[in-house]
Amino acid sequence: MQKMKKTQSPMAWVLGQTGDHGGQYILSVALAIIGVAFSLAPYFVVIGVVQGLMDGVKDFPFYLSRCLIMAALWLGRVLFHALSTTTSHKATFAVLGEIRKRCMEKLTRLPLGTVLEQSSGALKNTLIERIDSIETTLAHIVPEFTANLLIPIIILIYIFTVDWRMGLASLATVPLGMFCYVFMMAGSAKFYQRTVTATKALNDTAVEYIGGIQVIKVFGKTKSSYERFVHDAYEAAHSFIDWMRASIIPFTFAMVLMPATMVSVLPIGGLLVKNGSLSAQDFVTVIILSVGVITPIITMMSYSDDFRTMGTIFGEVRAILDAPEMIRPEEGEVPERNDLELKDVRFAYQEKEVLHGVNMAIPEGSFVALVGPSGSGKSTIARLIASLWDVTSGSISLGGTDIRQIPQEAYADKIAFVSQDNYLFNMSVRENIRIGRPSATDAEVEEAARQSGCHDFILGLEKGYDTMVGSSGGHLSGGERQRISVARAMLKAAPIVILDEATAYTDPENEAVIQRSVSKLTEGKTLIVIAHRLSTVMDADKIYVIKDGQIDEAGTHKELLGRHGLYEKMWNAHMEVKDNG
């Protein structure tokens, strides 16, 4: 099945996304064909008019009726084109919404590393612009290209029935036009890839520039940062300009030659009429129908850019939808016990192993601390325990059951995770806390806020619990954001609490409040703490010292100090800093 996904053509893939809307697209194509047929039918009426003139018909009502028929046919063309476009767009926007929803749901099932290795600008570009780009294929190419391809074929078949020599004459310029078209397409993949890369770089720079505007202003880096933005904007613009410059000449020749049926039809037909092997009426018929074929051909060629970019556009969306996800059962037994055990856990990030055979036992209700130098692997262990990533080898078990055998939502209910950079969404304080337990009442939300020490400051906000926190919680201070994160975790009431340096960037006053809140949060629960301030984990039942992705030491605070190893050095350094402070 995976092999089929890899070899599937872009068009086949996108048509496979139509799902329950396939009938609407079939209807849209049928309406488009009727619309194009209505647009070509007047040419047959014109043939009748010309033949009437050649036969000497002078009856005015004859010509008036033909004009009225052509007007009616044109109105029919407009009507059926509108119906086709409306039908295809209605289906397409539903399909795009479903694809975008699937992508967002997919992100929740991917390992955290897979998501984080992509910049927010690149992900935004894929989820918004790239998915929007599918609209052209589904809403326009599927019905309009199909119809405009089918009708000229039918017309050409009819011309061949009139006279096969004139049929060949009608096709005489096609090889030249196709040669120019193929020449234009030859370097399009390289050019388009450059536009993709340049646009992503511009998106990333713009997001970084806006997100870091405070640092830019404080450190006087406005000029250098703006210059980088200007450079990326220039590169993005010129990636398109250079592409168009390289394509314009072959594209122009293709657009001129492909529809230039008269270049061959007129002289060849004239010679055949002159030598008596083609009647004048048939010659006129071929001329008129050859002119009628021009518009559908030009319409088809107008989608050349969309065909050139289709593979890249759909490839980026497919990269998300087809990415390997964390496999969890939909149903399964959830262990009642909450003890955790890591057995020979290894983890590789981007093919580089960062954890090397970690073994760890965390009894239910115990207080376990992970300490060690920056980059030693502490947070990676915490995220593996929280099932944000999957181990490369080895296992993590809850109550004796491998966590990969437990449904994701059921396991998530067991874990409350508070990190140093917990994210707040741009919605009210109340709803940010309620994320911990969506079914919680307002009273339960406020009680969690009281227990976490943030009720009073919330009441002091402009609209209290209904105050919007801003993007990433930007309307609140760091300490306030962290206290709301603790309230969210407290409301969840999970039996296992993981604190990943939850007070790393808070001031002493907020740290004291958060520590008291954490004490209430973790009463009778399994507590796993990653700490940079060793004094906060002195009372831990067991402290694991992590170094270079391995457990260097393990024991209580007193036991580790007695071993005169890495922990003692870290403790002495911590106390020295504390004394100097």
**Any long-range contacts for 3-7 (C-beta under 8 Å, 24+ apart)?**
5/318, 5/322
∠ Cα 398 542 411 (to 5°): 20
- The answer to whether 387 and 408 are in contact (CB under 8 A) is yes
3-state secondary structure 382-410: HHHHCCCCCCCEEEEEECCEEHHHCCHHH
> Which residue in 317, 281, 256 sits closest to 122, CA to CA?
317
User: Can you read off the two tokens belonging to residue 48?
Assistant: 């009748």
Question: CATH 3.40.50.300 occupies which residues in the chain?
Answer: 340-580
CA–CA separation, 517 and 450 (whole Å): 9
Sign of CA dihedral 333, 339, 341, 347: positive
Alpha carbon dihedral 121, 127, 129, 133, in 10-degree steps, equals 150
Residue type, 196: V
Residue type, 250: P
Q: Enumerate residues 6+ apart whose C-beta is below 8 A from 143.
A: 25, 28, 29, 31, 32, 84, 85, 87, 88
Q: Enumerate residues 6+ apart whose C-beta is below 8 A from 526.
A: 338, 339, 340, 362, 363, 364, 365, 366, 368, 495, 496, 497
Residue with tokens 């518009």: 295
Residue with tokens 């394509």: 247
3-state secondary structure 411-465: HHCCEEEEECCCCCCCCEHHHHHHCCCCCCCHHHHHHHHHHCCCHHHHHCCCCHH
Q: What are phi and psi of 45, to 5 degrees?
A: -65, -40
DSSP annotation of 535 reads G
Helix axes 280-301, 262-274, angle to 10 degrees: 170
End-to-end CA distance of the chain: 62
Q: Length of the chain, please?
A: 581
- The answer to whether 25 and 143 are in contact (CB under 8 A) is yes
User: Which residues sit opposite 544 in a β-bridge?
Assistant: 370, 554
Superfamily of domain 2-173+259-321: ABC transporter type 1, transmembrane domain (1.20.1560.10)
Superfamily of domain 340-580: P-loop containing nucleotide triphosphate hydrolases (3.40.50.300)
pLDDT of amino acid 370: 92
Q: In 461-521, which ranges are E strands?
A: 496-500
Is 271 strand, coil or helix? helix
Question: CATH 1.20.1560.10 occupies which residues in the chain?
Answer: 2-173+259-321
User: Which helix (H) or strand (E) element contains residue 162?
Assistant: helix 146-162
Alpha carbon dihedral 138, 143, 144, 150, in 10-degree steps, equals 140
pTM score, whole prediction: 0.65
CA–CA separation, 129 and 320 (whole Å): 14
Residue with tokens 């806006």: 210
CA–CA separation, 348 and 352 (whole Å): 5
Note the pLDDT tens digit of each residue in 232-266. Answer: 888 888 888 888 888 888 888 887 887 788 888 88
pLDDT of amino acid 346: 93
- Average pLDDT in the chain: 82
Structural Rg of the chain based on CA atoms: 35
User: Which helix (H) or strand (E) element contains residue 546?
Assistant: strand 542-547
Is 157 strand, coil or helix? helix
Beta strand 367-371 pairing with 526-530:
parallel
Is 122 strand, coil or helix? helix
Note the pLDDT tens digit of each residue in 280-324. Answer: 888 888 888 888 777 777 777 777 666 666 666 777 788 888 888
pLDDT of amino acid 326: 83
pLDDT of amino acid 393: 92
- The answer to whether 367 and 378 are in contact (CB under 8 A) is no
Helix %, strand %, coil % for the chain, to 5? 65, 10, 25
pLDDT of amino acid 403: 92
Residue with tokens 């009708």: 151
CA–CA separation, 311 and 293 (whole Å): 29
Mean pLDDT by 10 residues, the chain (581 residues): 50 76 88 87 86 84 90 92 91 88 85 74 76 80 79 84 89 82 76 80 75 62 68 85 85 80 88 90 87 76 68 77 83 86 90 90 90 88 89 92 90 85 83 89 89 84 87 75 84 86 56 63 81 80 92 90 88 73 51
Residue type, 322: D
Q: Enumerate residues 6+ apart whose C-beta is below 8 A from 131.
A: 96, 99, 100, 103, 317
User: Can you read off the two tokens belonging to residue 251?
Assistant: 């594209």
CA–CA separation, 557 and 571 (whole Å): 10
Q: Give CA separation, 486 vs 382, 443, 453, in Å.
A: 17, 17, 9
pLDDT of amino acid 195: 82
CA–CA separation, 306 and 10 (whole Å): 12
> Which residue in 421, 491, 484 sits closest to 458, CA to CA?
484
